[in-house]
């Protein structure tokens, strides 16, 4: 502030005064104008895409397609959730796609060829992911090889690994009913509503408790109206989603009934809550942001930067393993190209489109979900419109480019307005 | 005229005959240095005089080769930054080391977050940060939840200083806190430096700007080519004398601690 008398509160107590509704709204608008836009462009883009596709192709806006979108987008969304951690440090994991492939191949082999039970198979698949992440993370953090190179090498090597496990031209079918259920079975409608009610209730209770605690300490808390709007908005939006997913989607309901939330949705929600908690509410998460924002400052604050750097690759590869399991469930099998072609690029795209910065230090786990939804909508909608795979790739590429430009421009704007 | 110890009380931090070499380069030669509670001690000297090395020795970044390190009258050994923090010595470096993407509270508690079990205790941290800022009469921050990225240079300096004070520190060492600031912000930071001392902390201020030094310092210690040229009370000297001390290591009317011929130095 060049003129220190402007905007200076009269007393230091003002530092922690609760804002009124109008002030809250104005400060939010200020933040957005200053370049702190978060997921706004992605949400805006998502709404536009949904409207356009629904007008051009009414079937896009059907309950059946909505369920399709969720199951289609699930694998890359989960991989993207892990990638957010790596991107927060300004690093990249190019191997996440094939890491998911390797883990899926391990799972399929264990379940189908060796006859293992699914919990053991899943555990080993996750352990493989963790091991991959630990190795790559150590190479980046301790040996000092750029993550681009380490993960590019891993990208090539894992492509080969999947090929060796599955065999050229081979295909390992998944027959385990539990694994198949993730992407192919639905939560019974009643349980869907119970899940909804419990989640919303827990969310509301948490927000209220937090606000009460802050008020009790005399700190600035969100206005009650904002809290109510947040909880209410979430309840209505998710309520509509649950209602739609509980509608009968089967063309012939007498032969087979198809209704309820796909099982993968609660799985993703649990992952979202757990990872958001880790990033937002624990000292570890704080240290991830700090290392991404200013590694030297983090080091001087006594944070073990090398450990943090290794850990984000561990999270990323383990999440890639989860994504691989979900993809295997969706495909009912694992082939040599599992986790290949556009998997990684869609996942990175999802994280970046959702608002995670490629420059590090900025991003949330939920960005991956919003960005994943954008990618799934483009992929699904353009497929329905009958465009070829070629056109889909070009459009997705352009959207990613737009998202990266928005990221870079908002950063520039943040610099110009003195916010970065 | 070496400052009279009885008049100032006992120094909280006292270094006696400190030597430090980097390979063949003898950077600090028999340096004596003291900081007193409630006083601002300015550490002045030209580039390369050894100011930074001296504070890094105090902060535990460099181990000292020989000499006594006394804290609150007791001999201590400082092996690393953690030891220095544990004693209550905090250093605010020139580049501040703040994370732009975190807010004021998050930066102040970085690396020492308060938690209840594994959950960050945001409310307690915010309350404590606000209290500290209040005790320093900081009026330039709009909110404790502002991102550091949105702060001006003076505000950043304020946050860095508040971060150092937060931990009940007893000695705060400030490395060129006003170097990159405008006139108004320099005034604010200097006022803050004065308030720290008035609250009973021992403040060590490193600065090239003698106007700033004379505005807030109680005592001035001048380093010249790795040796303490003089330690004087600010009210006993005038600016030209300090300039002479910095550039030549001696001045008329001030008793220098240096040997008569600086070039011969101290054979350590």
Enumerate chain A positions whose Cβ falls within 8 A of a Cβ in B: 1-4, 7-9, 11-13, 15-16, 34, 36, 213-214, 217-220, 281-283, 286-287, 289-290, 292-294, 296-298, 300-303, 361-362, 414, 417-420
Report the C-alpha gap between B85 and B69 in whole angstroms: 15
Report the C-alpha gap between A240 and A242 in whole angstroms: 5
Contact B184 A4 (CB under 8 A): yes
Contact B120 A361 (CB under 8 A): no
The vertex-A91 CA angle with A89 and A93, nearest 5°, equals 130
Q: Is B44 helix (H, G, I), strand (E, B) or coil?
A: strand
Asked whether the beta carbons of B102 and A264 are under 8 A apart, the reply is no
Instruction: Using the structure block, give the residue that is written with the tokens 């005038």.
Output: B238
Residue A46: closest CA among A27, A69, A68: A69
Give the pLDDT band of residue B143 (cuts 50, 70, 90).
Answer: confident
Contact A302 B111 (CB under 8 A): yes
B133 CB neighbours in chain A (<8 A) are: 12, 15
**A16 token code pair:** 């922690």
Q: Is B258 helix (H, G, I), strand (E, B) or coil?
A: coil
Q: What is the pLDDT of residues B233-250, one digit of tens each?
A: 888 888 888 888 888 887
* pLDDT reported for residue A336: 86
Taking each helix axis from N to C end, the angle separating A189-216 and B122-135, rounded to the nearest 10 degrees, works out to 20
Which residue ranges make up each domain of chain B?
1-88+170-178+185-268, 97-168
* Residue range B14-34: mean pLDDT, rounded: 90
A61-183+276-415: in CATH 1.10.3470:
yes
Q: Cα A67 to chain center, whole Å?
A: 18
Asked whether the beta carbons of A410 and A79 are under 8 A apart, the reply is no
Q: Where are the alpha helices (DSSP H) in A224-263?
A: 224-245
* pLDDT reported for residue B4: 44
Q: Which CATH class is domain B1-88+170-178+185-268?
A: alpha beta
Q: What is the pLDDT of residues B193-230, one digit of tens each?
A: 998 899 889 999 998 889 999 999 999 999 998 888 88
Residue A309: closest CA among A155, A139, A158: A139
Residue A137: closest CA among A296, A315, A292: A315
Q: What is the pLDDT of residues A128-154, one digit of tens each?
A: 999 999 999 999 999 999 999 999 999
* pLDDT reported for residue B185: 83
* pLDDT reported for residue A191: 94
B110 CB neighbours in chain A (<8 A) are: 286, 290, 297-298, 301, 303
User: What part of B 86-145 touches A (C-beta under 8 Å)?
Assistant: 93, 95-102, 106, 110-113, 115, 118-120, 123-124, 126-127, 130, 133-134, 137-145
Report the C-alpha gap between A362 and A36 in whole angstroms: 10
**A218 token code pair:** 């005399």
Which residue ranges make up each domain of chain A?
61-183+276-415, 186-262
Burial (0-12, 13-18, 19+ Cβ within 10 Å), B40: buried
Q: What is the pLDDT of residues A300-341, one digit of tens each?
A: 888 899 999 999 999 999 999 999 999 999 999 998 888 887
Intervals of chain A under pLDDT 70: 1-18, 33-36, 415-420
* Residue range B160-164: mean pLDDT, rounded: 88
Q: What is the average pLDDT score of chain B?
A: 84
Residue B222: closest CA among B186, B262, B189: B262
Query: Please, which residues bridge with residue B115 across strands?
Result: B120
Does pLDDT of B180 surpass 90? no
C-alpha count within 13 angstroms, C-beta hemisphere, residue A161: 21
């Amino acid at each position: 502030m060049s003129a220190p008398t402007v905007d200076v509160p009269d007393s230091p107590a003002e530092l922690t005064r609760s804002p009124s509704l109008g002030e809250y709204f104005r400060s939010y608008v200020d933040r957005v104008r200053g370049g702190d836009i978060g997921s706004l462009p992605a949400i805006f883009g998502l709404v536009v895409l949904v409207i356009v596709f629904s007008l051009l192709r009414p079937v896009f806006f059907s309950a059946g397609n909505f369920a399709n979108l969720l199951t289609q987008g699930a694998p890359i969304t989960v991989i993207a959730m892990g990638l957010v951690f790596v991107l927060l440090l300004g690093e990249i994991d190019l191997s996440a796609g094939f890491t998911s492939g390797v883990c899926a191949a391990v799972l399929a082999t264990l379940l189908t060829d060796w006859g293992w039970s699914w919990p053991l198979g899943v555990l080993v698949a996750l352990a493989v992911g963790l091991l991959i992440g630990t190795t790559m993370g150590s190479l980046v953090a301790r040996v000092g090889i750029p993550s681009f190179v380490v993960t590019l090498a891993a990208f090539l090597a894992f492509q080969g690994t999947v090929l060796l496990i599955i065999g050229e031209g081979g295909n390992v079918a998944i027959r385990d009913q539990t694994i198949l259920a993730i992407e192919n079975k639905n939560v019974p409608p009643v349980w869907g509503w119970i899940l909804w009610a419990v989640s919303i209730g827990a969310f509301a209770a948490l927000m209220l408790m937090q606000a009460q605690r802050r008020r009790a300490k005399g700190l600035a808390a969100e206005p009650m109206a904002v809290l109510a709007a947040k909880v209410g908005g979430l309840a209505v939006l998710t309520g509509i989603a649950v209602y739609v997913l509980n509608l009968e989607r089967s063309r012939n309901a007498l032969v087979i009934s198809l209704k309820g939330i796909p099982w993968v949705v609660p799985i993703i929600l649990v992952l979202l809550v757990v990872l958001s908690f880790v990033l937002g509410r624990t000292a570890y998460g704080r240290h991830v942001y700090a290392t991404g924002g200013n590694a030297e400052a983090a080091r001087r604050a006594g944070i073990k930067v090398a450990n943090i750097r290794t850990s984000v690759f561990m999270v990323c590869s383990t999440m890639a393993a989860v994504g691989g399991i979900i993809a295997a469930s969706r495909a009912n099998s694992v082939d040599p190209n599992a986790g290949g072609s556009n998997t990684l690029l869609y996942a990175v795209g999802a994280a970046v489109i959702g608002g995670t910065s490629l420059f590090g230090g900025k991003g949330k786990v939920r960005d991956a979900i919003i960005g994943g939804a954008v990618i799934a909508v483009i992929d699904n909608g353009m497929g329905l419109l009958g465009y070829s795979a070629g056109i889909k790739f070009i459009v997705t590429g352009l959207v990613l480019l737009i998202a990266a430009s928005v990221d870079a421009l908002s950063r520039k704007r943040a610099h110009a307005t003195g916010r970065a | 005229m070496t400052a009279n110890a009885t008049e100032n009380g006992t120094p909280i931090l006292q270094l006696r005959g400190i030597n430090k070499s980097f390979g063949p380069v003898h950077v600090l030669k028999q340096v004596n240095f003291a900081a007193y509670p409630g006083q601002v001690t300015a550490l002045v000297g030209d580039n390369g005089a050894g100011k930074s090395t001296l504070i890094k020795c105090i902060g535990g970044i460099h181990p000292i080769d020989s000499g006594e390190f006394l804290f609150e009258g007791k001999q201590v050994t400082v092996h690393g930054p953690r030891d220095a923090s544990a004693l209550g010595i905090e250093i605010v470096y020139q580049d501040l080391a703040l994370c732009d993407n975190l807010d004021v509270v998050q930066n102040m508690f970085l690396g020492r977050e308060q938690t209840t079990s594994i959950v960050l205790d945001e409310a307690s941290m915010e309350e404590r940060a606000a209290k500290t800022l209040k005790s320093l009469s900081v009026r330039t921050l709009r909110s404790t939840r502002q991102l550091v990225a949105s702060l001006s240079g003076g505000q950043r300096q304020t946050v860095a200083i508040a971060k150092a004070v937060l931990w009940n520190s007893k000695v705060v060492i400030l490395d060129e806190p006003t170097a990159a600031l405008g006139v108004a912000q320099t005034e604010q930071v200097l006022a803050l430096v004065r308030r720290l001392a008035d609250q009973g902390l021992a403040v060590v201020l490193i600065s090239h700007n003698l106007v700033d030094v004379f505005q807030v310092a109680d005592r001035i210690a001048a380093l010249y080519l790795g040796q303490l040229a003089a330690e004087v009370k600010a009210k006993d000297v005038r600016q030209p004398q300090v300039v002479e001390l910095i550039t030549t290591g001696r001045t008329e009317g001030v008793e220098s601690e240096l040997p008569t011929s600086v070039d011969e130095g101290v054979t350590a």
